[in-house]
Amino acid sequence: MDINVINKAEMLEFTERGDDRGHLVICEGGIDIPFDIKRIFYIYGSDTDVIRGQHANRKSEFVLINVAGTSKVKIKDGKGNETVYSLNRPHTGIYIPKMVWKDMYDFSEDSVLLCLASTHYDAEEYIRDYDEFIKIINEEGD
């Protein structure tokens, strides 16, 4: 297990191609997004007190973009390190590597959180129990 896995997470800044008709942001897999995009889903209509995510993924990498509104993403590496990212602009995203715990919260009423994933959906690769996540991280060791 890479001890610096949480450091692989990073904010991505996409080029805004604006003209007098408005803005255009392009996210191409393998170019603007650091993986080939296999799946997209989006989350909206979550109340401000809702916490989503609350899982880690054995295989999937994600890029999260608030294409409208705002939210926060907290990621934890299971070794005591955590980082909070604010998603508040449609041309920025957060890259999240595999095997980090994710919480999405503080959704604005108009939040539309676009999620790009490196895999097709497979429920088996989700770790939804935090204690199990900690156990796996520690078992995999350094």
Q: Which residues here bind ligand TYD, judged by CB under 6 A?
A: 39, 41, 43, 52-53, 121
Q: How far is the CB of 101 from ligand TYD (least distance, A)?
A: 12
**Separation between Cα atoms, residue 129 and residue 64, nearest integer Å:** 22
Sign of the C-alpha dihedral computed for residues 67, 72, 78 and 82 taken in this order: positive
Looking at the Cβ atoms of 13 and 109, the one nearer to ligand TYD is 109
- In sequence order, which residues have a C-beta less than 8 Å from that of residue 98 and are 6 or more positions away? 56, 57, 58, 59, 60, 61
Looking at the Cβ atoms of 3 and 40, the one nearer to ligand TYD is 40
Three-state DSSP at 92 gives: strand
Looking at the Cβ atoms of 3 and 51, the one nearer to ligand TYD is 51
Is 23 known to be catalytic? no
Q: How far is the CB of 39 from ligand TYD (least distance, A)?
A: 6
Q: How far is the CB of 53 from ligand TYD (least distance, A)?
A: 5
Phi, psi (rounded to 5 degrees) for 24:
-140, 125
Q: Point out the residues that are catalytic.
A: 55
